[in-house]
Amino acid sequence: MQSLSTKYITNFSLISIAYGMLWYFTWFLPVNFAVVNNSASWFLPAGFRFAAFLMLPRRYWLAIILGEWTAIKLLNDLKDPMTLFAEFVSIAPPALIYLTAAHIHLKLYGKAAFNNVKQTISLLFFGFSAAILTATVLVTSMIYHGKYASSGTEMLISEMHLANIFAFALGDIVGMLLIVPSIILISDLIKKRTTIDICINFKMLIQFFSIAMIGILLLSNLHQIPLYYIQMIVVMLVITCSYKYGWQGAVVSVFTMCIVIVLAALLADTQSSMIENQVYLITIAVIALILGTSISQQNQLTHQLLEQNLTLETLNIGLNEEVKKNQQLAAKVISIQESERKKISTELHDDIGQNITAINTEVKIIERLSTNQMVEASISNIKQLTSTIYSTAHHLMSMLRPRVIDELGLEKALDSSQFHQLLNKAGINYHVDIHGEFESLDDVVKIAIYRIAQESATNAIKHSQAGNFYLDLSLENQLLTLRIKDDGIGFDTTDKDKLKGRFGLLGIEERVLSLQGQFELNSSDIGSEIIVKI
């Protein structure tokens, strides 16, 4: 705890001394451009004051105030003697006003930055407000206790009074526009220590430095160029840099612009109004900062959108891979299922068929040798049983492996008596419309179409209460389209409980997806419809 206190005191003292010295010496730098005697037109200390309150932690704000008060006290001692109250007014209010402005901005946005346009406008608004209020307090105090005290209160709200406030405020504002954005930029560069950011910002600084040097050389040799031409060229450069580099470009270009304009004013053959130059600088700086911030904000949003799109694209790729895996797995499952069904169907055909044939042969032998009526009755029963077993086995073999596809082809298989009899027994008329050449289709596709038709017919018999069942199959331009519908009572396709009970629909969808096809289900109170495209 003791070491922490010592560290804080050390930092507090260093910050107070360093800030006080900075404030003291920067006061002398622009004093030669004075509009009002003994007041700097480009008041850089105002910029350092506002930047210090914005960037340093609140626990060091007292150090800033003490450092500034010390610097102002030393400066006052160098000038004409002042009354105690006038000295107090010149020392205390400015720091407290800027402290309040910084506190409100930080309360609203958390930090000083140019992340968005609202934050930039807030920073400019509170900075300008602090400058105007400070200028009003200082100039008004001069009327009562300062250099204009002998003039009486006639100067209050006079043209000279307002002109002095305007001049003081302009000086503070120009100082802020030069210092605060530059310090925010330097802080941003320090925080972004990645190689890419350093290279980009270093490149930007080199370009701006080159532009500034070219401008200085031109001004040194071509000082006859009118100032308004220089101002016009500078405006275009500032807007271009703000548009290209965002708020960082705006900050560096504004700083460069100030240097160029000052040199142009100094080297010009004719004298120019410093206040006009100040208004010009402030106007261009505000426009550049807002434009640069809006460009940076737009670039940031674009970058975020690109990152989100990249994330979505990655997720889509992953989902597509999963879909492909699921399709491959479903296709493999169906392939294995069909293979097993074919094997069972073959075994049924070979074993049961041969055994039934043997039984019928033995029955015929017994029938020829026996004359007993009871034996003949038993033989008749055995024939009926064997016939029933054969029919059942044949039906099972057809369900397991539709041999009719191999024997007749897909078109005739779908228009076979099996479908007609199955539906007619349930009182449903079967309508078939098939056109196309299906010989080139893979067996897997043919079997899938046949199975879908089988399952749809079964569902219609069980649930639809339909009078008609329609099957349309076409193959055009390598697109196989199967459309099956009925005129039954339909069902609610959004009712998950009902869909769970219809396992046949799930099987149909799985078959279609396994073939990388499209499945569509529509149902209403006038019937249901299935559309399959492969």
Judge contact between 296 and 114, C-beta under 8 A.
Answer: yes
Q: Quote the distance between the C-alpha of residue 282 and its chain's center.
A: 35
Strands 468-476 and 479-486: antiparallel
Residues contacting residue 466 through CB under 8 Å, at least 6 positions apart? 428, 460, 486, 487, 488, 489, 527
What stretches of 110-194 show up as alpha helix (H) in DSSP? Answer: 117-145, 159-191
Q: Which amino acid is at 69?
A: W
**Strand 468-476 vs strand 429-435: parallel, antiparallel, or unpaired?**
parallel
Sort 51 into a burial class: Cβ within 10 Å, 0-12 / 13-18 / 19+. Answer: buried
Number of helices (H), then strands (E), in the chain: 17, 5
- pLDDT tens series, the chain, 534 aa: 455 588 888 999 999 999 999 988 888 776 555 544 444 467 889 999 999 999 999 999 999 999 988 888 888 777 666 666 666 766 778 889 999 999 999 999 988 888 889 999 999 999 999 999 998 888 887 766 555 544 555 556 677 778 888 888 888 898 899 899 999 988 888 876 544 454 555 566 556 556 655 555 555 554 555 666 667 777 787 888 888 888 888 888 888 777 777 666 666 555 556 677 788 888 888 998 999 899 888 888 888 899 999 989 888 888 888 878 877 777 777 777 777 777 777 777 777 777 888 887 877 887 777 767 777 777 778 888 888 887 777 777 766 767 777 778 888 888 888 888 889 998 999 999 998 888 888 888 888 888 899 889 988 888 888 899 999 999 888 889 999 999 988 887 776 665 555 557 877 888 888 788 889 888 888 889 999 998
pTM for the predicted model, two decimal places = 0.62
Exposure of 358 in the CB half-sphere (CA atoms within 13 A): 6
